[in-house]
Amino acid sequence: MKLNVLGVKRISGTSTKTGNEFDMCNLLAAVPIQVGGGKSVSIQGFGFEVAELPLEPSALALFSSIKFPVVLDLETDSRPYMGKLETFVTGISQQVKAA
């Protein structure tokens, strides 16, 4: 999967409300705005918006020496999440070009 990658971000800690630990690791990519709509909604726009894809925490270090933004060919996998299959990033196949 080739994407214009803006960066990667990991947030971890302990919830102040529940005391539960959390660990969220995401890849941020620029994707074209898709116009459209339905009966009661209209989407208009031009350019790009940010999409977040889950990133395997062990893959975070692979991005440490990359100068962002950059187009990358990403390795992905899927896993069950809340009754559906979720695509997540597992690594980098190759760097394509500077964005």
Residue 29's DSSP bridge partners are: 5, 51
Q: What is the DSSP letter of 68?
A: S
- C-alpha neighbours within 13 Å on the C-beta side of residue 74: 25
Q: pTM here?
A: 0.83
Q: Is 61 helix (H, G, I), strand (E, B) or coil?
A: helix
pLDDT one digit per residue (tens) for the chain, 99 residues? 999 999 999 999 999 999 999 999 999 999 999 998 888 999 999 999 999 999 999 999 999 999 999 999 999 999 999 999 999 999 999 765 555
User: Which of 29, 35, 22, 37 lies closest to 87 in space, CA to CA?
Assistant: 29
**Contact indicator for 54, 25 with CB cutoff of 8 Å:** yes
